[in-house]
A and B are shown apart, each in its own frame.
Chain A
Amino acid sequence: MARKLCIFLFASLLLFPGCGARERWQTSTILAFDTICEINIFCSPSKSKSAQEEVQRVFSEIEALFSPGIDDYSSPLVLDLFQRGLKVYHDSNGCFDVTVGPLSRVWGFFDKSYVVPAPEQIKSALKLIGMEKIEQKNEALVLLPGMELDWGAIAKGFGIDLASKSLLETGISRGFINAGGDLYCWGKNPSDQSWNIGIKHPREIGFLGVLSISNLGAATTGDYQRYFVKDGVRYHHVFNPRTGYPAQSKQSVTVCGPETVICDALSTALFVSQEPEKILEKYPDYGAIIVDSDGNLSFLGKAYPFNPLE
């Protein structure tokens, strides 16, 4: 009898390896992309540790490939992200552009040595801007001399998608990964409802409103995230690739949709564009919450549940 019981227990362990470790909400933080990234998942404590390591691994890989100054133009991930960015580049009529690297450099955003460049410097930097100038030969990107890629407006969203997909594949059915301005959430929140995502107000302490979403990504581009003030003028990091100066007409743009990588790129494209509605027509599954330069709130594209707060 005892032997039968032992066999039964052994068989149970083989069949249900997860049994015994109770699932609960696990929150952890890691440092990546120059920010604190929050991971909140529903799983067993042991799985949480491996999930955290997996997110760290993915983010480290993304940082190793897409940080400023890295010139790896042949990795499969680089080629994949370039193609995704190229589509948004064409769809946004060049408002999203990963070739703004020379602009980020002359304005000092790469090494935090902020400076307002001379008009001639901007003019020469603009000659190196435009994704159509890049060719793809023998499974590698070929850049013109002096060109430099700035993946800052798309790489984080790409990393979040890869990391959350990886966690989903390991059987973690509820959670979110939040890397500063970009996030992906899936399943239900601890209250068995959609995730309530606070969108920070671009000018005040507190929130603009709350997005209630699930199985979706969201990303925000704002003029308040990275900027410097010179002679009373605020210069931020989102450049208009045509003028070479920071885009002026908005304070923040949050985009919500199925893929965080697209949300990330679109939030920059809509921030820069004077006709954001035309861009979103090409992305029917994506919606945007826009605060213009006067602080007015508007919504474009697909409507996701949003609760504005005072």
Chain B
Amino acid sequence: MERRDFFKKVILTPLLTPLFLAAKKSRSGCELYLIADNPEEFFPLILEELHNYVTNCGHSFAFLNSHPQENDLRRILTQAGLTYVQRPIQADLTLSFKPLHNKTLPSFTLIREGRIWDIRSRKLYSLWRDMNKNHMPSSCLTIASFKGRQSRPFSGEFVSVFKDGRKTEMISLEENVTKSYSTRGGKITLRVENRKAWVSESSCRHKICLSSPPVSFAGERIICAPNHFLLEIQGSRYIDTSIG
């Protein structure tokens, strides 16, 4: 289903419009709009992929209203390690149900900080295509709101890795990972931990990149010229330069 059609269906659901507009204005967290009569079938994979991108998928979930698939959703979310809580205010993830007037092909979309969020994930893309092609039209819309971490101004969200002058990878600052890269100049290892990124090993001669302090704010960079390697922190609001 085209994204345009998806929004037409969502916007035309009268009860949903105020909720959707509120989500558009939201500046923190992210909302998942999932059209499927059996959301529990698709939720685990979406959740797994989101975990790599959403600042915090959280530990608890609650329902804002009665959901036709509530029992199945509770089961799969518990299996995913989340705890059910009764009061939505205490939950990191809240789920609500809205019936669609006209049945439509199953699909999903994500809204983050008031904008459609395109995640370049092969698994999510395959899931989207599979839902569109192989499933019957549905009338159940599930809205999952991830509270997320209240992002601080200028705080970074991703590390962009540039190798030999080309952007090769984006890593969420939420991850704790160590990755090594072979470049035309040599070998370099990047460590991401506690929302900070730094170079932990390098084959370069002067090791200036190794002595660079960890970076975490949008716009901060570590450059290793001999290794043709650059890492840059990305976020919604950038620090242009620094003094001091």
Q: Is B242 in contact with A307, judged by CB distance below 8 angstroms?
A: no
Q: Per-position contact with A for B183-216: 1 when CB-CB < 8 Å, else 0?
A: 0000000000000000000000000000001101
Q: Which of A38, A206, A222, A254 contacts B241 (CB 8 A)?
A: A38
Stretch at the interface among B42-50, B117-125, B142-150, B232-240: B232-240
Task: Say which residue of B213, B214, B243 sits within 8 Å of A197 (CB atoms).
Answer: B243
Please report the C-alpha to C-alpha distance between residue A38 and residue B240 in the assembled complex, in whole angstroms: 11
Residue B153, interface by CB 8 Å: yes
Q: A202 CA to B242 CA in the complex, in Å?
A: 13
List the one stretch of A4-12, A96-104, A178-186 in contact with chain B.
A178-186
Q: Which of chain B's residues 220-237 have a Cβ closer than 8 Å to chain A?
A: 220, 237
Cα(A206)–Cα(B219), bound, Å? 12
Contact residues, A233-277 vs B (CB, 8 A): 252, 254
A13-69 residues at the B interface, CB under 8 angstroms: 38, 40
Quote the shortest CB–CB distance from A258 to chain B (angstroms).
16
A139 within 8 A of B: no
A202 surroundings in chain B (CB, below 8 A): 244
A89 at the interface (CB under 8 A from B): no
Q: How far is the CB of A88 from chain B (nearest CB, A)?
A: 19
Residues of B contacting A181 in the complex (Cβ-Cβ under 8 angstroms): 243-244
A302 contacts B by Cβ under 8 Å: no
Knowing A206-B216, A207-B217 are in contact, say whether A197-B241 is a contact too (CB < 8 A): yes
Per-position binary interface string of chain A over residues 167-188, scored 1 when its CB falls under 8 Å from any chain B CB and 0 otherwise: 0000000001010111101000
**A191 and B238 contacting across the interface, CB-CB below 8 Å:** yes
User: Assuming the A-B contacts A210-B154, A220-B243, A309-B152, are A196 and B237 also in contact, with contact meaning beta carbons closer than 8 angstroms in the complex?
Assistant: yes
Task: Name the A residues within 8 Å of B237 (CB-CB).
Answer: 196
Instruction: Contact check, A196 vs B243: say whether CB atoms are below 8 A apart.
Output: no
Cβ-based interface call for A198 (8 A): yes
What residues of chain B lie closer than 8 Å to A178, measured between beta carbons? 241-243
Asked if A195 is at the interface of the complex by the 8 Å CB criterion, the answer is: yes
Give how many A residues have a beta carbon under 8 Å from the other chain's beta carbons. Answer: 34
Given contacts A210-B153, A210-B154, A309-B153, contact A196 B244 (CB under 8 A): no
B22 → A minimal CB distance (Å): 26
Residue A310 lies at the interface, judged by CB distance under 8 Å to chain B? yes
Are A200 and B243 in touch, CB under 8 angstroms?
yes
Interface of A (DSSP majority class): strand
A38 to B241, CA, bound (A): 9
- The answer to whether A198 and B152 touch (CB under 8 A), given A206-B217, A207-B217, is no
Interface set, chain A 56-86, CB cutoff 8 A to B: none
With a cutoff of 8 Å between Cβ atoms, the chain B residues found around residue A197 in the complex are 239-243
CB distance from B230 to the nearest CB of A (A): 12
How many Å lie between the Cα of A38 and that of B239 in the bound state? 14
Chain B proximity of A37: nearest CB distance (Å): 11
Minimum Cβ distance to chain A for residue B220 (Å) = 8
Contact of A198 with B217 at beta-carbon distance under 8 Å, contacts A176-B240, A181-B243, A210-B154 already known: yes
Across the A-B interface, how many residue pairs have beta carbons closer than 8 Å? 76
Chain B's interface size range is 10 to 19
| Residues 299-310 of chain A, each 1 if its beta carbon lies under 8 Å from chain B, else 0 | 000000001011
Contacts A206-B217, A207-B217, A309-B153 known; A176 to B243 CB distance under 8 Å? Answer: no
| Contact partner, A196, options B152, B154, B214, Cβ 8 Å | B154
Bound form: Cα–Cα A220–B242 in Å: 11
The answer to whether A207 and B239 have CB atoms under 8 Å apart is: yes
Contacts of A189 in B (CB 8 A): 240
Whether a CB of chain B sits under 8 angstroms from the CB of A199 is yes
Of A195, A198, A199, chain B has the most CB atoms within 10 Å of the CB of: A198
Complex: A178 Cα to B219 Cα, angstroms = 15
Chain A residue contacts of B240, Cβ below 8 A: 40, 176, 185, 189-190, 195-197
Q: Does A219 contact B (CB under 8 A)?
A: yes
Which chain B positions have C-beta within 8 A of A180? 243
> Given the complex, which residues of A lie within 8 Å of B241, measured CB to CB?
38, 40, 176, 178, 183, 195, 197-198
Enumerate chain B residues within 8 angstroms of A208, measured Cβ to Cβ. 244
| A207 and B153 contacting across the interface, CB-CB below 8 Å | no
* 15 further A-B pairs in the complex, CB-CB below 8 A; given A183-B243, A190-B240: A178-B243, A182-B243, A185-B240, A195-B240, A196-B238, A196-B240, A197-B242, A199-B244, A200-B244, A205-B213, A206-B213, A210-B153, A307-B153, A307-B154, A310-B152
List 5 A-B pairs, minimum CB-CB distance, nearest first: A200-B244, A198-B242, A198-B239, A205-B213, A220-B244
Chain A residues with a Cβ under 8 A of chain B: 38, 40, 176, 178, 180-183, 185, 189-191, 195-202, 205-208, 210, 218-220, 222, 252, 254, 307, 309-310
Query: 27 A-B Cβ contacts within 8 A?
Result: A176-B240, A176-B241, A181-B244, A185-B240, A196-B219, A196-B239, A196-B240, A197-B239, A198-B219, A198-B220, A198-B243, A198-B244, A200-B242, A200-B244, A202-B244, A205-B213, A205-B214, A207-B217, A210-B154, A218-B243, A220-B243, A222-B244, A254-B244, A307-B153, A309-B152, A309-B153, A310-B152
